[in-house]
Structure 1
Amino acid sequence: MLIEVVGLGPGDESTMPLSTWKTLQESRSPIILRTKIHPSVPALTEAGISFTTFDHLYEQHGDFETLYEQMAEELLRLATQHKKVIYAVPGHPRVAEQSVELLLKKATACGVEVHVGAGQSFLDPLCTAIGLDPIAGLLLLDGTQLHITELQPGVHTLIAQVYSPAVASDVKLTLMEVYPDEHEVTVLSAVGVAGEESVTSVPLYELDRLTEIHHLTTVYVPPVQNLSEKARHPLYLADIVARLRHPLDGCPWDLAQTHETLIPYATEEAYEVAQAVLEDDPAHLQEELGDLLLQVLLHAQIAAENGDFTLQDVFFGLAEKLVRRHPHVFGQQSASNAEEAEAMWKSAKAEEKQRDSLSLEGNETPLSRMSDVQTGQDALNYAFDVQKRAAKVGFEWNCIEDVLEKLREEIIEFEEALNQNDSKALTEELGDLFFTLVNLSRWLKMHPEMVLRKAVIKFVRRFERVEQAVHESGRTWQEYRLDELDQLWQNAKL
């Protein structure tokens, strides 16, 4: 059983390979055309070549994937019935021809051979019409299945299969997610067909308003040139960050940053995102999300320079995690509400931690009680949660007096480090002091975050009163002695 696939070429019979013409003319086997709507078909009819088509299937299906699936199955059925059939498609059988791709995938399982013959693709006349050498970088995409993730605005792009204004409208909307509305695109219809060829350049937003769009239409999207156009692509943004970190002529501030020095900025930007959400300010939220993304890009760039990982590794790891933790979306399980979905997420996360706990010898080791404490939170909350977890197993002071004694001990150790001017010891001892204060607040059943926040609010309120007093005095801050400012502060407390 054999299916011989041949290409009709991109235009009329003059673009059809001689081998295809001979195959069709000499065939004693059934000939099936994917569609009779092709410039070369009248010549086949005039030559007395008999054929059937799949045109009737186009009216039965609302999506092309199902349509091409049925074409492949029908071809395999006919091959089983007639032992050999000829399948003729527009252009080249292996260029933008999904029905052939599906046929090749299904044929092996059915025991049917598929021979792919010659054909001239639409690429040659298209590249000639727009004056493009494909070696400059060419991306070919299917307009019926176009997705934003496929777009690369820095390279020449051809979007084929733009069969109708409806498809053109979908293509336009997808392109406008990445390209500016005014970006000029070229619509090429019936290229290579004498007397019918149409080449029209329009702004992107007018793409679906043209009347020349039909089954032989392809859209050419030239690469973007200026910053305002390029900046819509996330990887171009990553390139900007890499440029800022260039060792020869990058930004001195960006070059001075490390993972550690960036920690305060990441937490600060996360809080500002939360604030923008609470303010219900979309424009502010957009800006703050960009600032938060900058922190991700900076950390990824520093890691790439150190040889640790790349931004692509970050993308890959996150994508894998999202798929793994959503078995109700990407697997066979189901979740009918948010609670069930969250339970599946936690279950998948627990399984990951259990796998991670295996030792190098393959022996299972118990998970630490700290393994599921959320590390992605501010230090006060993190310390609070860690101490609560330790206290559950009795790793705890006997009474609050013991905590106060520990606090006094940490103050003494901090003073010693301060006297020695030991920056490393100062950092460690100050951290111990903070940690003990968190413990004290926990003993008092007061959350350290709220305690500190109230203290900050109180300070701001009093400081504003001092500012007001300075303003009303007509004097500048520099004109006040420290004892005078202290008196204003004491007054603000009343």
Structure 2
Amino acid sequence: MIKIVGLGPGAIDALTLGGLRALKNCQKVYLRTEKHPTVEYLKEEGISFETYDYVYEKADSFDEVYQTIATNLIEKIDLNSTMVYAVPGHPLVAEKSVFNLIKLCEQKGIEYEVLPAVSFIDAIMERLKIDPVEGIKVIDAFDMNHQVLDKRIGTIVTQVYNPFIASEVKLKLQEYYNDDTEIYFVRAAGIKGLESIRKIPLYELDMQEDIDYLTSVYIPKDLNNKKDFYDLINIIETLRGEDGCPWDREQTHESLKKALVEESYEVLDAIENEDDAALIEELGDVLLQVVFHGSIGKEDGYFDIGDIIEGICNKMIERHPHVFGEGVAKTSGEVVVKWEEIKKKEKGFVTVTEELEGIAKNLPALMRAAKVQSKAKKVGFDWDRVEEAMKKVEEELQEIREVYNGENKVRIVEEVGDLLFACVNVARFLDVEGELALNATSDKFIRRFSYIEKEAEKKGIQLTEMTLEEMDKLWNCAKNAEKK
């Protein structure tokens, strides 16, 4: 049998009678580390022990240390006698070696007993007057990258062993909190003569000179800190609430359609302009639209932002079996093929026509046309060469010539549409995004027209007073200037 004993946070008075009795009555005592204030008292009491400090020097990681300790203890267990494994604090608080040991004991049918103790968490709560009922989160400094922090509850970060770890903790905290957030630096809580608790700004955390294995950090609850996703949700729900904004309360999924399209295009503008500040703002506007629709869905009782997030998470996992499952995809091309196969199965598409009809009708017309053509190409319905696609453009232009003077407006619209569709085909063959190409041409037109207007202004002439020939001459001048 093995008894797992907690040595408390470091003060002698924090040792439990049960823990002390187990230590005194057992011949085989093993400590995870001798680096603990209570250990001197154990020596004074004549308790002999062995430690696992040597494992820290040999192992490459803390995970390896804790697993090695647990495995070694199992090897030393004598089923006919009792041994003790003692750790700092409470055995079940931030003690991975203990959990590894318990797992092995249960796998091998070895009897064990955990003797509770005062935890360093208890000492910190007592010294800082923290009521855990109001919410508290305890995080291991070595597990920071796997944690989601929340300013709405107090947070204790344990095992801030040295300045390097403190620096890593600081960087992670700065993702969620302002740099000047007041935090508590806690060293040796509850241990007389060693204890040091002080308020410091977050940015000074790794500058403290007394950081050691007894160091922890406490970040108090602070609702006014950095804004996060839940603040945005609360803002929208407040705006749509009884005492909120009349305009926001009136919005519906239908009324917001145009705004979502406009905000998306403003994101594209920011990307084109390589303007990071604008990109932050415009992406925020798009996120606002998503949360807005989530809030409306919640009020209607059909869905909420959680359903939206769960849906996209599930979709990304299901469509990436080569990452989250057993699928294989070594190139981006293979990924696209797999994506389309999974999407087709999800949507229940059986025919190619169903796939074509499944392309969003509210996409920009050039983009939708390109997607339709690409889908058709997959089953071989496409030109073999770009020259054939160009010839089709000429044919469609000729058909416009045949009908443009007529009175059949429907036929004219149809033929113009055919011409544009044929032009998209040429662009697709040349691997050109029609939408981007047309936007670039519109920008070029504006530049050249601006040249005409400025030249006319220099001459004191209004554009309305100029002939087309005069403007066309200036247009060619602008064209030549661009080429130079």
State the TM-score, normalizing by the size of structure 1: 0.77
Counterpart Cα distance in 1 of 2:299 and 2:401 = 44
Name the amino acid aligned to 1:441: L
Q: Which residue of 2 aligns with 1:239?
A: 234
Name the amino acid aligned to 1:230: K
Task: Give the superposed CA RMSD.
Answer: 3.9
Decide whether aligned partners of structure 1 residues 440 and 14 sit closer, same or farther in structure 2, where only a CA change above 3 A counts: same
Q: 1:294 pairs with 288, 291, 296, which one?
A: 288
Q: Which residue of 2 aligns with 1:123?
A: 121
Decide whether aligned partners of structure 1 residues 116 and 489 sit closer, same or farther in structure 2, where only a CA change above 3 A counts: farther
Please say if residues 383 and 438 of structure 1, whose CA atoms lie closer than 8 Å, have aligned partners that are also in contact.
no
The unaligned stretches of length 5 or more in structure 2 are 383-391, 428-433, 473-484
Q: Which residue of 1 aligns with 2:18?
A: 19
Is it true that 1:347 corresponds to 2:344 in the alignment?
no
Identity of aligned residues (%): 35
Deviations 1:189-247 (A, max 9, x none): 11111111111211111101112221121101012243xx231x22222222222222x
Counterpart Cα distance in 2 of 1:130 and 1:292 = 42
Q: Which residue of 2 aligns with 1:191?
A: 189
Counterpart Cα distance in 1 of 2:414 and 2:281 = 34
Deviation at 1:310, TM superposition (A): 2.4
The unaligned stretches of length 5 or more in structure 1 are 359-364, 414-432, 476-483
Q: What pairs with 1:2-13 in structure 2 (closer than 5 Å)?
A: 2-13=1-12
Range with bigger deviation, 59-68 or 13-22: 59-68
Counterpart Cα distance in 1 of 2:104 and 2:340 = 38
Deviations 1:58-113 (A, max 9, x none): 12234322222222222222226776432111111122222222233333222223
Q: 1:321 pairs with 312, 315, 319, which one?
A: 315
Count matched residues. Answer: 450
Name the amino acid aligned to 1:174: K
Range with bigger deviation, 202-211 or 371-380: 371-380
Please say if residues 154 and 230 of structure 1, whose CA atoms lie closer than 8 Å, have aligned partners that are also in contact.
no
Deviation at 1:42, TM superposition (A): 1.2
Counterpart Cα distance in 1 of 2:315 and 2:54 = 44
Q: What pairs with 1:159-174 in structure 2 (closer than 5 Å)?
A: 159-174=157-172
Is it true that 1:230 corresponds to 2:207 in the alignment?
no
Q: Which residue of 2 aligns with 1:370?
A: 356
Query: What is the SS of the residue equivalent to 2:186?
Result: strand
State the TM-score, normalizing by the size of structure 2: 0.79
Decide whether aligned partners of structure 1 residues 458 and 192 sit closer, same or farther in structure 2, where only a CA change above 3 A counts: closer
Please say if residues 125 and 131 of structure 2, whose CA atoms lie closer than 8 Å, have aligned partners that are also in contact.
yes
Range with bigger deviation, 169-178 or 131-140: 131-140
Q: Which residue of 1 aligns with 2:478?
A: none
Deviation at 1:288, TM superposition (A): 2.3
Please say if residues 236 and 295 of structure 2, whose CA atoms lie closer than 8 Å, have aligned partners that are also in contact.
yes
Name the amino acid aligned to 1:257: Q
Is it true that 1:140 corresponds to 2:138 in the alignment?
yes
Q: What pairs with 1:97-108 in structure 2 (closer than 5 Å)?
A: 97-108=95-106
Counterpart Cα distance in 1 of 2:77 and 2:167 = 38
Q: Which residue of 2 aligns with 1:93?
A: 91
Name the amino acid aligned to 1:91: G
Decide whether aligned partners of structure 1 residues 114 and 344 sit closer, same or farther in structure 2, where only a CA change above 3 A counts: farther
Q: What pairs with 1:438-477 in structure 2 (closer than 5 Å)?
A: 438-443=417-422, 449=435, 453=439, 457=443, 460=446
Counterpart Cα distance in 2 of 1:64 and 1:154 = 30
Counterpart Cα distance in 2 of 1:79 and 1:379 = 74
